[in-house]
Structure 1
Amino acid sequence: MLTDIWTVMRKELQEAFNLGDRVGKFGLLFMMFSFGILLPWQMGRSWVESPITLVYWSWVPLFLVNAVVADSFAGERERHTLETLLASRLPDQAILFGKLLAALAYGVGLTWASLLVGLVTINLFHGEGRLLFYPPAVALGVIGISLLSGGLAAGAGVLVSLRAKSVQQATQVLSIAIMALIFIPTFGLQALPAAWQERLWNIVSGWNVTQAVLVAIAVLAVLNSVLIGAAMRRFQRARLIAD
């Protein structure tokens, strides 16, 4: 099973990193420059000391995974290669998890590469002879939340791509979902009565960073499990061929 999953992963990663990848080389370079050089240079030591950086590292993998996962099944359908893939000896779970893990590895791998470049930038421009690194709780959050955030995008993306008739349709649905995920909580909190906002702020401000990170990881892990379970139920060879 692991060999079959790796076979699918390798094929998907090769397609994602070829010259025609969906993000485009300019987009990848811009992302690496922004989160690896520009923002760390501008924010200084707060880039590694402030928990607010967790917000950045939860967003980045969402967009990167979304850029490739929409093609996972919708692209095969457009290229008329889905039937060939489904007729292969590969087990259902190998196809599903191979595509899901490839999108996750692509998005999270580039996110962590930007993270490392950012650490180099911080130490070069703001280190002043000392090695700067994330506090343990923030480091745990950056790694865990970025991984699970990417998993959330991969799970949702595979589920959408299984149903979408085209890559464009899948990309649009996922883009709208990401925008809603970011903006609805922001504007929703602002719409709450002032007393509710104050009460919620008092609860959250009483948490330490470790507690907040563990809660976020737990919530994301549950959401990942739900989406992956839904994708496993949706992935049925006969239905996909009929579609």
Structure 2
Amino acid sequence: MLTDIWTVMRKELKEISNIRERIGLISILFLIASFGILLPWQMGRSWIESPITLIYWAWLPLFLVITVVADSFAGERERHTLETLLASRLPDQAILFGKLLAALTYGVGLTWISLLVGLITINLGHSPGSLIFYPPDVAFAVLSISLLSGGLAAGAGVLVSLRVKTVQQATQLLSIAVMVLIFLPTFGLQMLPAAWQERLLKSVANWDVTQTVLTVIVILIIIDSILIGAAMRRFQRTRLISE
């Protein structure tokens, strides 16, 4: 099974690489420069010490995975290669998890590269003379949340890509979902009365950071599991071929 998953995953990573080449490497380099050089240089040591930066590391893999996962099944359908893939000897789970892990590897991989570049930037520009590393609790939180955030996008993306007929449809649906996920809480907070906003902000300020991070991790694990389970139930060869 693992060999079959790796076969599909390698095929998908090659296709993702081809897609990125058509779009251009400049956008990827700009992204790494922004999260690995510009922001760390501006924020200084707080970039690797403040829990606020978790917001960046939750958003980045989400965005990156969505840019490629829409192509997972909808792209095969558009290129008329889905039937050939489904007619192969590969098990259902190998096909599904190979595609899911490829998108996750791309998004989380670039995120962790940005993390490493950011650490180098901090040491070059803000080091007092000794090496600076991410505190263990921050490193655990960043790695866990970025991985699970990418898993959220991969699970939802594969599920959507299984249901729609074109990459454009999948991309639009996933983009709308991300916009709602990001902007709804922001605008919702702004619509609250000023007294409620102040009370909510004071409550958030009193949260225990470690407990909050662990709660977020547990919630993401549950959501990821539900999405992947739904994708596994949706993946039916006969149904996909007839669609």
The TM-score bracket by the shorter chain reads over 0.9
Match of 1:155 in 2: 155
Of stretches 171-180 and 109-118 in structure 1, the one that deviates more from structure 2 is 171-180
Match of 1:80 in 2: 80
Pairwise CA distance, 1:179: 1.1
Pairwise CA distance, 1:46: 1.2
Question: 2-side partners of 1:22 and 1:185: how far apart?
Answer: 35
Match of 2:209 in 1: 209
Q: 1:23 to 1:63 in 2, by over 3 A?
A: farther
Amino acid at match of 1:181: L
Aligned residue for 2:130, secondary structure, equals coil
Pairwise CA distance, 1:21: 4.6
Structure 2 runs not aligned, ≥5 long: none
Of stretches 203-212 and 118-127 in structure 1, the one that deviates more from structure 2 is 203-212
Amino acid at match of 2:18: N
Q: 1:217 to 1:32 in 2, by over 3 A?
A: same
Question: Contact 1:8 / 1:94 at 8 angstroms: preserved in 2?
Answer: yes
Match of 1:122 in 2: 122
Of stretches 53-62 and 198-207 in structure 1, the one that deviates more from structure 2 is 198-207
Question: Contact 1:137 / 1:213 at 8 angstroms: preserved in 2?
Answer: no
Question: Contact 1:108 / 1:146 at 8 angstroms: preserved in 2?
Answer: yes
Pairwise CA distance, 1:165: 1.1
Question: 2-side partners of 1:121 and 1:145: how far apart?
Answer: 22
Pairwise CA distance, 1:78: 0.4
Query: Does residue 1:93 correspond to 2:100, yes or no?
Result: no
Q: 1:72 to 1:157 in 2, by over 3 A?
A: same
Question: Contact 1:162 / 1:235 at 8 angstroms: preserved in 2?
Answer: yes
Pairwise CA distance, 1:169: 1.2
Pairwise CA distance, 1:19: 6.1
Mapping 1:181-196, distance limit 5 Å: 181-196=181-196
Question: 2-side partners of 1:97 and 1:91: how far apart?
Answer: 10
Output the aligned Cα RMSD: 1.5
Mapping 1:201-240, distance limit 5 Å: 201-240=201-240
Question: 1-side partners of 2:24 and 2:169: how far apart?
Answer: 19
Question: 2-side partners of 1:228 and 1:23: how far apart?
Answer: 29
Amino acid at match of 2:85: L
Match of 2:29 in 1: 29
- Runs of 4+ in structure 1 off by over 6 angstroms are none
Question: Contact 1:138 / 1:209 at 8 angstroms: preserved in 2?
Answer: no
Pairwise CA distance, 1:211: 1.1
| Number of equivalences | 243
Aligned residue for 1:128, secondary structure, equals coil
Summarize deviations over 1:181-236 as a string: whole Å, max 9, x none.
11011111222334443443343322222112101111111110111111111111
Aligned residue for 2:51, secondary structure, equals coil
Q: 1:117 to 1:22 in 2, by over 3 A?
A: same
